[in-house]
Structure 1
Amino acid sequence: MAKSIKLLNNKKISFFYSVNNQIFILFGLILITCIFSDYWFKINNLTITFIITTLVSSIVTFIGIRKLKKIKVQQIIREEGPRNHLIKQGTPTMGGIFFIPIGIIISNILYFNKDDYKIILTLTFVIISFMFIGFIDDFISLKKQFNTGLKSYEKIILQFFFSFVFIIICAYNNLIPYDIQIAGNIIYIGNLIYPLGIFVLLAESNSTNLTDGLDGLLSGCSVLIFTGLAINILLNNTSNNSTLAPVCIAMAGACMGFLFLNKYPAKLFMGDSGSLAIGASLGGIALISNNLWSLLIMGGILVAESISVIIQVSIFKISKRLKGKGHRLFLMTPLHHHFELKGNNEILIVGSFWLVTLLLVMINLIFLINTSSFN
């Protein structure tokens, strides 16, 4: 009896540790959500959009790996990182240039020459712009054969410039609401939405950039957040819900297709060209659809990753100034590296972060439904 229980427990553990099982569950969960949403909201294009985008993204990404290997576009691992990451040296990177355009192209095909097409064009601009910043960063890094490409201030300047242009375009086309929804309350902030919008784009893109540190971590979390954002938009029943919800699902499908090749052990990394673009798309969609608060909740993992870095740097600098020696709260940041150095398996960490993201998405949606019902 004891042997049977032990065998059963080992099977449960091995099931959770199996990255293929995690991918299967994630894909099935999003597919069921799309099918149910099409039926409930009478959209009829979420399921087919997700399936097609996932399929095309996986095929294009698979072909892209061969091209990247041929021209030797390979990941450079920083020496100060976890030692077990050195085995990832040489893995093709810059995968963002393959799967990000898939989500954008399919979104443009869906709404070409339609009334809300200006929304798609505006989002296309900001996503491509941030992908371009990431591409430059990746290219310089590869050219220098060093993990760092653009300097921090150079990257921030470029992010700020494209965010500013995006906000101006949105304002000119009346795409930005002048109030924000927080916990069921609508707060009018007027022109403060402009600096807030720029801050959101910078914060979100850098958060996704920091989160992209383990195989499948950011791509899996992004699939869940994009899907949660789509359902959130549909539940809010805004005037542009029929446009933005499918765009979210298209981006979720693009990330899902990439995830099949980015799962542990990763055959391809997305690079900054992918992570910055994901952050810009999340921030841009949330800003236009007035779902900044929901994005903050659902992207709790992204927030935690960023805050861990801020806390670590702050404590180190303050303690060094006061005591002459810097102290660290975490073994290493971003947060996922702390859990790595604690001896946790990479697959377990990624699966746990996905699960936390799923729970945050569900909490946000449950809260939204209850608030809507109360109102």
Structure 2
Amino acid sequence: MRTLSLTNIRRLGVKELWSLWRDPMMLVLILYVFTVAVHTAATAMPETLHNSPIAIVDADDTPLSRHIVAAFQPPQFVWPAIISMNDMDPAMDQGLYTFALQIPHGFQRDVLAGRNPAVQLNVDATRMSQAFSGSNAVQQIVMGEIDAFIERQRGERVQPIELVLRYRFNQTLDKGWFGSLMQVINYITMLSIILTGAALIREREHGTIEHLLVMPVTPTEIMLSKIWSMGLVVLVASALSIHLVVRGLLGVPVEGSLPLFFAGAALCLFATTSMGIFMATIARNMPQFGMLLVLILLPLQMLSGGFTPRENMPDLVRHIMLLAPTTHFVELGQAILYRGAGIDVVWRPFAWLLAIGTTLFMLSLARFRKTISRMA
């Protein structure tokens, strides 16, 4: 059995880099996902309440109603438009406002008298992303202003105990912090699978894989060359994205050690690039590889804990996803980038990634050897 040649692995890897350099579509894909897509994910989170248009019918025109009107401010809401009751329904029908709040006549009088006056809130539910979170925000703002007004008018004594909320790791609850870093983590997984799988299928379609079979190289050397070259491309692109886009353009702070994070990313890339080669040996062409990629990539990203906490998932799903490299990569990525964790905290995900990567590499190598033996 011939020993591995580091020179062959290096030269074959350089060949893969030159092949990628001559593929403009792949270069555009890499550039897009680590710049525009990351920035878009951070600035256009769909559940964020931002500059929602609101109109108010103030039929009371009292200090309390004016306090309520003044409480709706950017960036959650635009400055409220004061309209009449007759204009409310036509404006909502035209889609001019997402929310229309009606404050009835005698509202302040009824509040101070201890009665329960009704305040009407009309919501344009076709704007689903803002309707749900915005309704709760409007209710909290109105109730907060009423409580503060009653306390000032009646001079009620402040309670001896006050609950103070303190947010850790993301004090301003900026969803852009979460969106940008999670997209970088997801794109590392996605591109590593795409690049290695496409590299193997491209060689098969161009007939260059037959040239490799007559050279003094082994299947292991061919696989390792694709793994290190495509993994290096993804690592460099993700590092530039974090430094230039996430930290530079978006101003998102990174709490932990970036070298430790990229060490974990390298282990994840070892597993996902092996997975990409395994998928490429199953697919006969790029369209089949694309369909297979959808079936594999969506569960890897949706069930890894990046979008939904794993604690909210069924036990069966949580146990199965322990076999996926993305689960442990998301865990260590969030711990390091968000909470500044060290190796003493994230050593378990590192161990899982090493074990999963080794297993996937051995399975992919066996499948790759079987594939090229049929071609020979």
- State TM-score, norm by structure 1: 0.32
Kindly indicate which of the two structures has a greater share of residues assigned to helix: 1
TM-score normalised by the chain length of structure 2: 0.32
